[in-house]
Amino acid sequence: MSLELFNHWQQQQLPIYLADELSKLMTDDKAIEDHFYQYVSFGTGGMRGILGPGTNRMNIYTIRRVAEGLARYISSNGEEAKKRGVAIAYDTRHFSYDFAVETARVLGAHGITTYVFKEARPTPQLSFTVRELNAFAGVVITASHNPKQYNGFKVYGEDGAQLVPTGANAIIEHMNQISDIFEIEVTEVNELEHKGLFYWILEELDEKFMNNLLTLKNNNAIDYNMKLVYTPLHGAGLVPVVEGLKQFGFNEVHVVEEQAVQDGAFPTVLYPNPEEAAAFSMAIELGNQVGADILLATDPDADRLGVAVRKGESYELLTGNQLGALLLNYIMQTKQETGTLPTNGAMLKTIVTSELGAAIAAYYGVTTVNTLTGFKYIAEKIAEFEMTKAHTYLFGYEESYGYLIETFARDKDAVQVALKVAEMAAYYSTQGKTLLDALEDLYEQFGYYKEALVSKIFEGKDGQEQMKAILNNYRLDMPSEIAEVTVVRIEDYLTGIATLQDGTTGPINLPKENVLKFILEDKSWIAIRPSGTEPKCKFYFGVVKDSKEQAEEAMEKLVNYLL
């Protein structure tokens, strides 16, 4: 089948760059299979893959296929849905602009209105725009923090959140009915503009997004002269983050100029990922030059934020769990001080995120609600709270550097958080403290929580099967003890069943997903989860002890046992 598809592609009038790449595969049967054995998988978060020719690559034809599936899904919802249309944004990656326009051309061929950003803008701004325009759906072309070889296609529902499984499954069903992607109809942009089906957007949405961002500002006594360094890592965060910091009142914002260039090759970093310490090397260099107190970095689509804090003559990178705990405490504390902390407040976090957040929330009388990994589940809970009034949303986060404060966006928002982190750091600065000092205060109050994440790469078709086998093997022989500590609870999110040490079972009231979590007698835990967007199996670890040294020792035992 792979060879048949390869030959079919060879017979098409492809763009020169795709035709050249395709011709290089002719003598490599394994490469042909990898490029053609499947279509790039599409899930609730959309799809993400390596750029190149073939059905298992991101290119204008696989983009047309998913856009056609989306178009048929929207059309099935009636003329009003088509008229409300689709907002489309894109980051700075290779072909992001082209894929955005191609999406609009396919949607337009079905009579669906599109609103396309003139320039690269953050994913959270797309989420906001869907809501602001009352669009029926949204699309952002991005592969988030993946390496330069990748791009992707994310779909948003009318609430500005990533599409829920029912919508995603409907799109997949429509995609599966497409017999030949080369027969998908597209319409030229100028014709769509003439018909009133295509609109460029930018300035007005920038202004409205900024007005909402400014609602995050507290009137605390803070140090507006604190020195900040910001790097967008060649991505889409540059405009809103720099303008937001300026409008918040910060006078000393220094941008890493080399990384302010929007370039999909990401020439100054190996990975444009603020979770990686290496991504901060140029920010650290500039920070040392100007004497910056904190360094901020956003990924290419500005939904993830990394923060480094000055420590003596160097900088220490905060983990996603640490920054989430600091933000949660700061937000709860300021609300408590101003008398705006609701009695039915709730904090949302994922099942693989540190339990320190839950401890902090309990201290402020705030309920913790756990979700599956993926911000779409946090957004789903926000919508549920709005409908049932059972809780008032206060903050949501996940360990992978994703946070959301205010709900005018419904996806993780590094722009919001960059502004709030700067404010938080400036607030502690007036007390003679850094964010690291504030974190130490939390550890002393709640215990020393430490987390770790180890990812194993499993490339290609064989890799997918290996990942499945790892979890299946655990299910066949569940451990009763890990690193000499008794397992007191096993949570299997695929079956939706939690099993206690004595064998009694109970339901897990969350959607089913291929994740296993082991909770130990000493409150340590391990979770195993194949990534939904990358060829990785992720192993998460969490411990809590009375001291930093004890926590580090316990973590080392856990990691060594499993890996």
Active site members: 144
The CA-to-CA distance between both ends of the chain, in Å, stands at 37
State how far the Cα of 304 lies from the Cα of 300, in Å rounded to an integer: 9
- Cα–Cα distance for residue pair 91/96, rounded to 1 Å: 6
Residue 393 vs residues 132, 363, 410: alpha-carbon distances, Å: 20, 17, 12
Q: Give the whole-angstrom CA distance, residue 31 versus residue 36.
A: 9
E strands along 27-118, which residues? 47-50, 86-90, 114-117
Of 99, 104, 113, 189, residue with least CA distance to 141: 99
Q: Which 3 state secondary structure label does DSSP give 412?
A: coil
Distance (Å, whole) CA 469 – CA 464: 9
Q: Are 475 and 469 in contact (CB under 8 A)?
A: no
Q: Which residue has the tokens 């709270």?
A: 385
What tokens were used for 327? Answer: 């933000």
Q: How far apart are CA 350 and CA 537, in angstroms?
A: 17
CA angle, residues 508, 512, 516, in degrees to nearest 5? 70
Asked if 501 and 486 touch (Cβ cutoff 8 Å), the reply is yes
How far CA 151 is from CA of 52, 71, 157, 226, 315, in Å, comes to 10, 20, 20, 36, 31
For 309, 312, 319, 432, the CA distances from 436, given in Å and listed in that order, are 7, 11, 11, 12
Beta carbons of 66 and 48 less than 8 angstroms apart: no
